[in-house]
Amino acid sequence: MIVQPVLVTAAALFSLGIYGILVRRNAVMVLLSIELILNAVNINFIIFDSMLADSLMQGQIFTIFIITIAAAEVGIGLAIVLMLFRNRQTANINEFDLMKW
């Protein structure tokens, strides 16, 4: 089985996600970047699972868990962004400094 290209794809996806998180100013885009990172991890799980031919299929089961959690997380995240937008009329992440000293 050819693992390398898939891992490289996953790494690229992960880096893309990190970049998105650090650079994008729009909160929705940041959330999307987080999804990218999670999916990169999912790909890693899947490929290593099939490579190791795990009889319990732990990697795939884990992936399903992550997808579920990601869905929930995005639900909450979008709700927060929505509320922030309603209150401040902006989705620019630099404007949100509630955690400032």
Partner 1 sequence: MVKFDANLLAETELVYTDGGILAEFSWSLVVLPFVAALLITFIGKYLPYKGAEIALGTIALIFIYSVSLMFIHITEGVASEFFVNVGSIGQFDIEFGWVVDGLSIMMYFVVGTVALLVFIYATNYMEGEIRYTFFFTSLTLFAGSMLVLVSSPTLIQILIGWELVGVCSYLLIGHYWEKKDNSSAAMKAFITNKIADIGLMIGIIILALNTGTLRISEILYQSTHDYEKLSKVAFAAAILLFIGAMGKSAQFPLHVWLPDAMAGPTPVSALMHAATMVTAGVYLLARMFPFYKSMAPEALDIVMLFGVITLLGAGLIAIVQDDLKKVLAYSTVSQLGYMVAAIGSGAYTAALFHLWTHAFFKALLFLGAGSVIHAVHSNSMLEMGGLRKVMPKTFTTFIIGTVALAGLPPFAGFFSKDEILASFNHEGETTFFFIAVLGAFITAFYMTRAVSLTFLGEYRGHGHPHESHNMMTTPLLTLAVFAIASGWVNIPGVYTGFTDWVTTRKTKIVEYHPESFDLFALSSGLIAGLLGIGLGYYLYQLQGSAETGDDKIKIQPVWTVLENKYYLDHFYFRFIIDPIKINISKAVDKFNTNVIDRFINGVGQIASLLGGIVYNNLDQNGIDRFLNMSSSGTDSFGGRVKLLQTGRTQQYLMLFLGGVVTISLLILFII
Q: From the CB of 52, what's the least distance to partner 1, in Å?
A: 25
Task: Return the percent helix, strand and coil in the chain, to nearest 5.
Answer: 80, 0, 20
Q: From the CB of 1, what's the least distance to partner 1, in Å?
A: 27
Binding site for partner 1 (CB under 8 A): 18, 21-22, 93-94, 96-101
Return d(Cα 58, Cα 35) in angstroms, integer: 21
Q: From the CB of 10, what's the least distance to partner 1, in Å?
A: 17
Beta carbon nearer to partner 1, 19 or 65: 19
β partners of residue 92: 26
Beta carbon nearer to partner 1, 2 or 100: 100
Residue reference for tokens 């898939």: 6
Beta carbon nearer to partner 1, 33 or 42: 33
Return d(Cα 38, Cα 52) in angstroms, integer: 21
